[in-house]
Amino acid sequence: MNEHPQTTTITYRVPYADTDQMGFVYYANYLVYFERLRNELLRRSGTPYKEWEARGLLLPVIEAYCRYRAPAHYDDILTISGFISLGKGTRIRIDYEARRDDTLLAEGYTVHACLQRSGRPTRVPEELRPDNLDK
């Protein structure tokens, strides 16, 4: 991932429960790691997801993609990074990477619809548009 000005990064130590019979982190857990990052990204941008929901904004995932490059294992310390790469109309896209040291393990993205509590689409709030995040 090119260093992006609004990149958020977290670390996560892989528990045994995250691994499969082969000793690898189970593939679906990377989407959970991406979600952990997404929550922290929103929190660090000034408005936690819980507050967006209280304001009536929902951000359901409408598309998810993950490309696996190398396996992670029990007790690995992962660095998960991401940023909002697109925020226009009624959608936002968040790009992610998971690394162990310098090794890229997985990369992907999620696309989210911006919805009112009623389920009606709504425009991406100014605060979640990539060009406004560092203002």
Q: Active-site residue numbers?
A: 20
Count of Cβ atoms closer than 10 Å to residue 55 Cβ? 11
> Alpha helices, DSSP H only, in 1-119?
29-44, 49-54
- 3-state class (DSSP) for residue 33: helix
Q: Rounded CA gap, 115 and 29, in Å?
A: 26
> Alpha helices, DSSP H only, in 45-127?
49-54
